[in-house]
């Protein structure tokens, strides 16, 4: 039998490594253009991306905004830190500086934009009439609502002076190449960091419908802003004609890297998709039921089976616990096992941060529940109050990586082995 913990950890490490900008930037980066070159960007991977750019081009002019703790040493590009997932004043000030930096560029100038997941919170420039505090309240409400990331970003674009193509428009008429690391299901460039270099539909109808669907309470100023003309740049606007958006890392590449490792162990790999969405606990139930059915068909000598999946789960906040979608997936999964042995689960965020906790996720199996029971920790109670991180902190199973310097979202692996 395969030793599950080191095996699953190796798969996760391979998935993260495949999306490291130091590997992907050199492949995607063209020769450095002549004339003035300005490098900008935002996201959890943006500092690492900037580091990779300067490794190829040498010192560059520019600045990127990354999450606190995700800084990297650069020769010329300024690294600015700000808060994520709820924006702060540092992010707002840095965004204003970035817009000023690219304003006034000419047609002979070149902008390299580096965008990764997390950029929606880090690029903060509220529309007129909306304060930073009100924008923070909106972000907190969105994170608690259980709304998919694509739905969240529809609203975020209309409340911003930088998202929905507005960063690219600010740099016009300069040429722009935007290199992106995708953390969104479907890899739509318009959804990555709310598409600061990608045009959007100015109609706010969808945003207002999403608010009603997920029963999100908004400040009066935000409601008023959604009734006003949106600032996003239409997709056919001439200000976007000099922009090329290119995805250089995506969840599918990381799943493929993990799959290749697993096949080396003579494992039957089944890829469930890199774009799965939905409530973490609901998706866990679906995948564990699938795993149990697969296990029931295994015989002595059968190959182990591995279920791989990516995407982005959501959590509807029901309690005041400390949790995240990957830890919640794992906790719900081991409860659904109902004592079934031979099935091990790992669910982690490739950026090293699951929700707002400095924990990538968790790895566990049916024995984790037995251990919890022995310590007087009730798994069902902890799940009910969204306290998955605290559960795994108490009984073991947390996956701690620190900043991975990339972000292709959730990585889930379920190993299924025959148990005689």
Q: Model confidence over 154-193: pLDDT tens digits?
A: 899 999 999 999 999 999 999 999 999 999 999 999 999 9
Number of helices and strands (H, E) in the chain? Answer: 16, 13
* Rounded Cα distance, 297 and 289, in Å: 13
Within-domain flag for 306:
yes
If asked whether residues 278 and 324 sit together in one domain, one would say yes
Q: Of 190, 225, 249, at which residue does a domain stop? A: 249
Residue 256 lies in a domain: yes
Tell me the C-alpha distance between 325 and 329, whole Å: 6
Characterize 78-97 residue by residue with b for buried, 16 or more Cβ atoms within 10 angstroms of its Cβ, and e for exposed. Answer: bbbbbbbbbbbebbbebbee
Is 189 found in the same domain as 158?
Answer: yes
Domain shared by 95 and 208, yes or no? yes
Among the three residues 214, 249, 284, which one is the final residue of a domain in this structure? 249
Distances (CA, A) of 286 to 185, 283, 305, 332, 347: 18, 5, 16, 11, 15
Average pLDDT, whole number, for the chain?
96
Same domain, 283 and 340: yes
Question: Domain with 88 in it: what CATH number?
Answer: 3.40.50.10180
Alpha carbon distance 85, 142 (integer Å): 11
- The CATH number for 293's domain is 3.40.1480.10
Give a yes or no: residue 245 inside a domain: yes
Over 90: is that where the pLDDT of 243 sits? yes
Local structure of residue 228 (DSSP, 8 states): S
Q: Is 207 found in the same domain as 323? A: no
Q: Cα–Cα distance between 362 and 176 in angstroms, integer?
A: 39
Q: Do 161 and 283 fall into the same domain?
A: no
What is the crossing angle of helices 280-297 and 325-337, to 10°?
A: 40
| Same structural domain, 197 and 258 | no
Inside any domain, residue 24: no
pLDDT tens-place string over residues 246-300: 999 999 999 999 999 999 999 999 999 999 999 999 999 999 999 999 999 999 9
Is residue 26 domain-resident? Answer: no
The share of the chain scoring above pLDDT 90, in percent, equals 94
**Predicted pLDDT at 143:** 87
Residues 210 and 270 in one domain: no
The CA distance from 364 to 327, in Å, is 10
The conformation of residue 31, written as its DSSP 8-state character, comes to P
pLDDT of residue 312: 94
Task: Output the pLDDT for position 119.
Answer: 96
In a domain, 20, yes or no: no
Flag the least confident range among 101-115, 116-130, 205-219, 298-312: 205-219
Instruction: Give kind and range of the element (H or E) at residue 343.
Output: strand 343-349
Q: Does residue 85 have a cis bond before it (omega within 30 degrees)?
A: yes
What's residue 89's pLDDT?
98
Based on the domain organization, do 223 and 365 belong to the same domain?
Answer: no
Are 88 and 227 within one domain?
A: yes
- Residue 176 structure tokens: 């722009």
Whether the pLDDT of residue 353 is over 90: the answer is yes
DSSP 8-state secondary structure symbol assigned to residue 248:
E
Question: What's the per-residue H, E or C state across 133-170?
Answer: HHHHHHHHHHHHHCCCHHHHHHHHHHCECCCCCHHHHH
pLDDT of 356 strictly over 80 = no
Boundary of a domain, candidates 249, 283, 301: 249
**Residues present in the chain in total:** 420
Task: Please write the tens of the pLDDT for every residue from 214-226.
Answer: 999 889 999 999 9
**pLDDT tens digits for range 332-352:** 999 999 999 999 999 999 999
Q: What is the pLDDT of residues 385-414, one digit of tens each?
A: 999 999 999 999 999 999 999 999 999 999
Q: Is 72 in the same domain as 208?
A: yes
Phi-psi region of 196 (alpha: psi -120 to 50; beta: other; left: phi over 0): alpha
Q: How far apart are the first and last CA of the chain?
A: 12
Q: Do 47 and 9 share a domain, yes or no? A: no
Give the pLDDT band (50/70/90) at residue 149.
Answer: confident
58: containing domain = 31-249
Could you report the per-residue pLDDT of 69-83, keeping only the tens digit for each?
A: 999 999 999 999 999
Q: Is the pLDDT of residue 67 over 90?
A: yes
Q: How many domains does the chain have?
A: 2
Residue 21 is assigned to a structural domain of this protein: no
Strand partners, 113: 40, 178
Q: Does any domain span residue 204?
A: yes
The pLDDT, as a whole number, for residue 357 is: 86
């Amino acid at each position: 039998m395969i030793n599950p913990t080191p095996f699953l950890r190796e798969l996760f490490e391979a998935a993260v490594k495949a999306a490291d900008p130091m590997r992907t930037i050199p492949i995607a980066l063209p020769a450095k253009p002549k004339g003035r070159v300005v490098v900008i960007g935002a996201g959890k991977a943006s500092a690492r991306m900037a580091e990779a750019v300067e490794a190829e081009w040498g010192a560059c002019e520019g600045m990127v905004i990354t999450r606190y703790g995700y800084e990297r040493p650069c020769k010329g590009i300024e690294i600015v830190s700000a808060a994520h997932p709820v924006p702060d004043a540092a992010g707002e000030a840095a965004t204003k500086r970035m817009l000023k930096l690219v304003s006034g560029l000419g047609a002979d100038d070149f902008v390299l934009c580096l965008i990764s997941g997390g950029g929606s919170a880090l690029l903060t420039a509220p529309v007129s009439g909306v304060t930073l505090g009100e924008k923070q309240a909106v972000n907190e409400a969105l994170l608690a609502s259980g709304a998919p990331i694509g739905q969240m970003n529809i609203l975020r674009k209309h409340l911003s002076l930088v998202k929905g193509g507005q960063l690219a428009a600010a740099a016009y008429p300069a040429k722009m190449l935007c290199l992106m690391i995708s953390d969104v299901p479907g890899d739509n460039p318009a959804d990555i960091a709310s598409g600061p270099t990608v045009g959007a539909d100015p109609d706010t109808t969808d945003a207002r419908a999403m608010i009603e669907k997920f029963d999100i309470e908004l400040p009066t100023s935000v409601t008023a802003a959604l009734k006003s003309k949106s600032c996003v740049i239409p997709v056919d606007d001439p200000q976007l004609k000099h922009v090329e958006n290119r995805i250089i890392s995506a969840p599918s590449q990381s799943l493929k890297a993990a799959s290749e490792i697993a096949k080396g162990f003579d494992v039957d790999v089944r890829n469930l998709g890199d774009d799965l969405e939905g409530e973490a606990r609901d998706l866990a139930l679906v995948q564990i039921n699938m795993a149990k059915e697969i296990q029931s068909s295994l015989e002595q000598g059968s190959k182990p089976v591995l279920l791989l999946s990516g995407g982005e789960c959501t959590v509807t906040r029901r309690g005041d616990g400390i949790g995240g979608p990957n830890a919640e997936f794992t906790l719900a999964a081991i409860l659904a096992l109902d004592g079934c042995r031979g099935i091990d689960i790992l669910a982690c965020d490739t950026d090293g941060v699951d929700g707002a906790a400095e924990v990538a996720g968790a790895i566990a199996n049916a024995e984790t529940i037995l251990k919890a029971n022995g310590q007087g920790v009730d798994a069902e109670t902890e799940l009910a109050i969204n306290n998955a991180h605290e559960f795994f902190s108490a009984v073991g199973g947390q996956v701690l990586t620190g900043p991975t310097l990339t972000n292709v979202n959730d990585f889930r692996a379920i190993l299924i082995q025959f148990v005689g």
